[in-house]
Protein backbone atom coordinates (compact mmCIF):
# COMPACT_ATOMS: atom_id res chain seq x y z
CA UNK A 1 0.00 0.00 0.00
CA UNK A 2 1.42 3.35 -1.05
CA UNK A 3 1.02 6.24 1.38
CA UNK A 4 0.85 9.67 -0.19
CA UNK A 5 3.26 12.10 1.46
CA UNK A 6 2.35 15.77 1.25
CA UNK A 7 5.29 17.06 3.26
CA UNK A 8 8.16 18.25 1.07
CA UNK A 9 11.16 18.95 3.29
CA UNK A 10 13.23 20.13 0.33
CA UNK A 11 10.84 23.02 -0.30
CA UNK A 12 11.27 24.18 3.32
CA UNK A 13 15.06 23.88 3.05
CA UNK A 14 14.90 26.04 -0.08
CA UNK A 15 12.69 28.53 1.73
CA UNK A 16 15.09 28.64 4.69
CA UNK A 17 18.05 29.22 2.37
CA UNK A 18 16.23 32.06 0.64
CA UNK A 19 15.70 33.75 4.00
CA UNK A 20 19.38 33.29 4.87
CA UNK A 21 20.50 34.62 1.46
CA UNK A 22 18.41 37.75 2.04
CA UNK A 23 19.87 38.28 5.51
CA UNK A 24 16.54 37.65 7.23
CA UNK A 25 16.83 36.56 10.88
CA UNK A 26 13.16 36.94 11.90
CA UNK A 27 10.22 36.20 9.65
CA UNK A 28 6.56 35.90 10.59
CA UNK A 29 3.54 35.75 8.31
CA UNK A 30 0.12 35.24 9.83
CA UNK A 31 -2.40 36.64 12.25
CA UNK A 32 -1.07 39.16 14.75
CA UNK A 33 -2.00 40.35 18.21
CA UNK A 34 -0.26 41.94 21.19
CA UNK A 35 0.83 38.54 22.55
CA UNK A 36 2.68 37.68 19.34
CA UNK A 37 4.15 41.19 19.26
CA UNK A 38 5.50 40.68 22.78
CA UNK A 39 6.91 37.24 21.99
CA UNK A 40 8.77 38.30 18.85
CA UNK A 41 9.90 41.47 20.61
CA UNK A 42 11.46 39.51 23.46
CA UNK A 43 13.30 37.24 21.02
CA UNK A 44 14.48 40.28 19.02
CA UNK A 45 15.87 41.96 22.14
CA UNK A 46 17.68 38.78 23.14
CA UNK A 47 19.17 38.37 19.64
CA UNK A 48 20.48 41.95 19.63
CA UNK A 49 21.95 41.46 23.10
CA UNK A 50 23.75 38.29 21.96
CA UNK A 51 25.03 40.15 18.87
CA UNK A 52 26.20 43.04 21.12
CA UNK A 53 24.26 45.48 18.95
CA UNK A 54 24.97 49.14 19.68
CA UNK A 55 22.51 50.31 22.37
CA UNK A 56 21.27 53.25 20.28
CA UNK A 57 20.67 51.06 17.23
CA UNK A 58 19.03 48.39 19.37
CA UNK A 59 16.56 50.89 20.85
CA UNK A 60 15.72 52.29 17.42
CA UNK A 61 15.20 48.85 15.86
CA UNK A 62 13.02 47.65 18.73
CA UNK A 63 10.95 50.84 18.88
CA UNK A 64 10.34 50.75 15.13
CA UNK A 65 9.48 47.05 15.21
CA UNK A 66 6.83 47.66 17.89
CA UNK A 67 5.37 50.66 16.03
CA UNK A 68 5.23 48.79 12.73
CA UNK A 69 3.52 45.71 14.15
CA UNK A 70 1.03 47.89 16.02
CA UNK A 71 0.23 49.60 12.71
CA UNK A 72 -0.52 46.20 11.18
CA UNK A 73 -2.69 45.25 14.15
CA UNK A 74 -4.64 48.52 13.92
CA UNK A 75 -4.93 49.01 10.17
CA UNK A 76 -4.60 45.72 8.27
CA UNK A 77 -7.59 45.34 5.96
CA UNK A 78 -7.16 41.56 6.00
CA UNK A 79 -8.70 40.16 9.16
CA UNK A 80 -10.61 37.22 10.54
CA UNK A 81 -13.47 37.61 10.55
CA UNK A 82 -13.31 40.05 7.60
CA UNK A 83 -13.79 43.70 8.57
CA UNK A 84 -17.07 43.89 6.65
CA UNK A 85 -18.56 40.89 8.47
CA UNK A 86 -20.12 40.61 11.92
CA UNK A 87 -17.48 39.98 14.64
CA UNK A 88 -17.46 36.74 16.61
CA UNK A 89 -19.32 37.90 19.71
CA UNK A 90 -18.46 34.74 21.63
CA UNK A 91 -14.72 35.52 21.44
CA UNK A 92 -13.79 38.65 23.38
CA UNK A 93 -10.51 40.49 23.86
CA UNK A 94 -9.13 41.82 27.16
CA UNK A 95 -11.37 44.88 26.87
CA UNK A 96 -14.48 42.76 26.39
CA UNK A 97 -14.76 43.66 22.71
CA UNK A 98 -15.39 41.09 19.93
CA UNK A 99 -12.04 39.69 18.73
CA UNK A 100 -10.77 40.56 15.26
CA UNK A 101 -7.39 39.15 14.19
CA UNK A 102 -5.44 41.14 11.58
CA UNK A 103 -3.11 39.42 9.13
CA UNK A 104 0.35 40.74 8.31
CA UNK A 105 3.98 39.97 7.58
CA UNK A 106 6.97 40.95 9.73
CA UNK A 107 10.58 40.63 8.57
CA UNK A 108 13.79 41.69 10.35
CA UNK A 109 17.25 41.26 8.93
CA UNK A 110 20.50 42.74 7.72
CA UNK A 111 21.71 43.71 4.23
CA UNK A 112 25.21 42.71 3.07
CA UNK A 113 26.51 46.23 3.80
CA UNK A 114 25.55 45.86 7.48
CA UNK A 115 22.37 47.93 7.29
CA UNK A 116 19.67 46.45 9.49
CA UNK A 117 16.07 46.55 8.32
CA UNK A 118 12.61 46.13 9.82
CA UNK A 119 9.83 45.46 7.31
CA UNK A 120 6.10 45.04 7.80
CA UNK A 121 3.49 44.35 5.13
CA UNK A 122 -0.29 44.21 5.25
CA UNK A 123 -3.27 44.51 2.98
CA UNK A 124 -4.95 47.90 2.60
CA UNK A 125 -8.10 48.80 0.74
CA UNK A 126 -7.39 50.17 -2.73
CA UNK A 127 -9.59 53.16 -1.92
CA UNK A 128 -7.11 54.10 0.85
CA UNK A 129 -3.96 53.69 -1.24
CA UNK A 130 -3.65 57.26 -2.54
CA UNK A 131 -4.26 58.75 0.89
CA UNK A 132 -1.50 56.52 2.26
CA UNK A 133 0.88 57.57 -0.51
CA UNK A 134 0.17 61.25 0.17
CA UNK A 135 0.75 60.78 3.88
CA UNK A 136 4.13 59.10 3.39
CA UNK A 137 5.30 61.32 0.54
CA UNK A 138 4.64 64.37 2.73
CA UNK A 139 7.35 63.28 5.19
CA UNK A 140 9.82 61.86 2.67
CA UNK A 141 13.18 63.62 2.84
CA UNK A 142 12.61 65.21 6.26
CA UNK A 143 15.51 64.92 8.72
CA UNK A 144 15.28 63.91 12.37
CA UNK A 145 14.89 67.50 13.59
CA UNK A 146 12.12 68.28 11.09
CA UNK A 147 10.33 65.02 11.89
CA UNK A 148 10.52 65.81 15.62
CA UNK A 149 8.94 69.22 15.09
CA UNK A 150 6.21 67.69 12.91
CA UNK A 151 5.52 65.05 15.56
CA UNK A 152 5.12 67.66 18.29
CA UNK A 153 2.73 69.64 16.11
CA UNK A 154 0.69 66.54 15.29
CA UNK A 155 0.41 65.62 18.96
CA UNK A 156 -0.71 69.17 19.69
CA UNK A 157 -3.32 69.10 16.90
CA UNK A 158 -4.65 65.68 17.89
CA UNK A 159 -5.11 62.51 15.80
CA UNK A 160 -6.43 62.92 12.24
CA UNK A 161 -9.79 61.52 11.22
CA UNK A 162 -9.75 57.73 11.02
CA UNK A 163 -6.64 57.33 13.17
CA UNK A 164 -6.69 54.59 15.81
CA UNK A 165 -3.74 56.06 17.73
CA UNK A 166 -1.99 59.39 18.15
CA UNK A 167 -1.53 59.73 14.37
CA UNK A 168 2.26 59.95 14.53
CA UNK A 169 3.23 56.33 13.76
CA UNK A 170 4.95 56.90 10.42
CA UNK A 171 6.56 60.12 11.65
CA UNK A 172 7.93 58.29 14.69
CA UNK A 173 9.33 55.42 12.59
CA UNK A 174 10.89 57.78 10.06
CA UNK A 175 12.48 59.72 12.92
CA UNK A 176 13.89 56.58 14.56
CA UNK A 177 15.41 55.60 11.20
CA UNK A 178 16.86 59.10 10.73
CA UNK A 179 14.87 59.46 7.51
CA UNK A 180 16.22 56.18 6.09
CA UNK A 181 13.05 54.38 5.10
CA UNK A 182 11.02 53.43 2.06
CA UNK A 183 7.65 52.01 1.16
CA UNK A 184 6.00 50.15 -1.66
CA UNK A 185 2.38 49.46 -2.55
CA UNK A 186 1.68 46.54 -4.86
CA UNK A 187 -1.56 45.53 -6.54
CA UNK A 188 -2.72 42.18 -5.23
CA UNK A 189 -4.78 39.39 -6.75
CA UNK A 190 -7.50 40.19 -4.21
CA UNK A 191 -10.13 42.55 -5.57
CA UNK A 192 -10.16 45.99 -3.94
CA UNK A 193 -6.98 45.34 -1.93
CA UNK A 194 -3.31 46.30 -2.31
CA UNK A 195 -0.26 45.09 -0.37
CA UNK A 196 1.43 47.89 1.59
CA UNK A 197 5.03 47.44 2.73
CA UNK A 198 7.08 49.78 4.92
CA UNK A 199 10.78 49.28 5.63
CA UNK A 200 13.02 51.22 8.03
CA UNK A 201 16.83 51.06 7.84
CA UNK A 202 19.39 51.32 10.65
Mean model confidence pLDDT for the chain: 89
In this structure, the chain runs to a length of: 202
Asked if pLDDT for residue 95 goes beyond 70, the answer is: no
pLDDT digit string (tens) for 140-170?
Answer: 999 999 999 998 998 888 776 666 655 688 9
3-state helix vs strand vs coil in the chain, percent to 5? 40, 25, 30
Q: What is the pLDDT of residues 126-146, one digit of tens each?
A: 999 999 999 999 999 999 999
C-beta of residue 181 within 8 angstroms of C-beta of residue 200: yes
Q: Rounded mean pLDDT of 45-72?
A: 95
**Is the pLDDT confidence value at 89 over 70?**
no
122 vs 116: CA distance, rounded Å: 21
Most confident of 20-29, 76-85, 159-168: 20-29
Q: For position 66, what pLDDT does the model report?
A: 96
Closest by CA to 44, choosing from 25, 28, 57, is 25
pLDDT at residue 190 above 70?
yes
Amino acid sequence: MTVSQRLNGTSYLTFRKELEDRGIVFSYSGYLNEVILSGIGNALRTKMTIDQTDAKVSRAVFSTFVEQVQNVIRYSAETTPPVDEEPLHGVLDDDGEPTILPYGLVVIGEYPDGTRFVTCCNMVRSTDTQKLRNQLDSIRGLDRKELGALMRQQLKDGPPEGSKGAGVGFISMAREANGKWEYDIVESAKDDFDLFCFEAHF
